[in-house]
Amino acid sequence: MGPGAVHVPGWLDPARQRRLVESCRGFGRGPVPYRAAKLPGGHEMSVRTLCLGWHWQPYRYTRTADDVNGARVPDLPAWLAGWGRRAVADAYADPAAAEGYEPDTALINFYAGTARMGMHQDKDEQADFPVVSLSVGDDCLFRFGNTAARGRPYTDLRLRSGDLFVFGGPSRYAYHGVPKIYLGTADPECGLTGGRLNVTLRVTGLA
């Protein structure tokens, strides 16, 4: 992978995977439900997303879910921000790397078996801190590209339940996507069968 992109397979043990799954179920019972974000052209994404901290809608962050029900989104829980800090320290094997890393937002993506995410860059944040990605449930094909263009060169790899990925430095603005979910591949002890959950922790740089 490119500089600043670090994959840590199995970073979450099964108990923490289950805790994350249960928490994400709970967030879905909160003020703003999981929803398919609508792209400016009118198409809906196949992924269902729930936001904490700031609400993401293509291509901006707001405090209220104006495209859903207008409710104020809940704050990012301190424990989840703490997981993000530990993830950065572990991925870079450097506790100092996490100093000052205070994620304010989580985007929680649920992929049913047919859901996909096209190649894109994450540029709506106004700060260039790393993005932390946690995966639980079915395996997926993750495509990690380059910063210049949506297409090749890219690297394909399989992400599994419990995997951590941190994207910082030059990798922060690389194109990436999820072309495929391998339905039914999750170990039931992760707490999720029949789909994939991905939680990204971000610093929006917004106030």
Q: Which residues are at the interface with Fe ion (CB under 5 A)?
A: 122
Looking at residue 52, what DSSP letter applies?
A: E
Q: Are 20 and 133 contacting, i.e. CB atoms less than 8 angstroms apart?
A: no
Selected binder of ligand MD3 within 54, 61, 101, 167 (CB under 6 A): 167
Distance of CA 123 to the CA centre of its chain: 14
Indicate which of ligand MD3, Fe ion, none lies near residue 105 (CB less than 5 to 8 Å, by partner kind).
none
Task: Give residue 130's identity as a one-letter amino acid code.
Answer: P
Question: Looking only at residues 133 through 152 of this chain, which bind ligand MD3 when binding is defined by CB under 6 A?
Answer: 133
- Taking CB under 6 A as the rule, which mask of x and - marks residues 74-113 in contact with ligand MD3? ---------------------------------x-x----
**What are the tokens at 43?**
């198409």
- Pick left, alpha or beta for residue 138 (phi over 0 → left; psi -120 to 50 → alpha; otherwise beta): beta
Selected binder of ligand MD3 within 32, 57, 200, 201 (CB under 6 A): 200
- Residue 130: closest CA among 178, 177, 98: 98
Selected binder of ligand MD3 within 48, 55, 143, 172 (CB under 6 A): 172
User: Which residue number, 17 or 198, has a Cβ lying nearer to Fe ion?
Assistant: 198
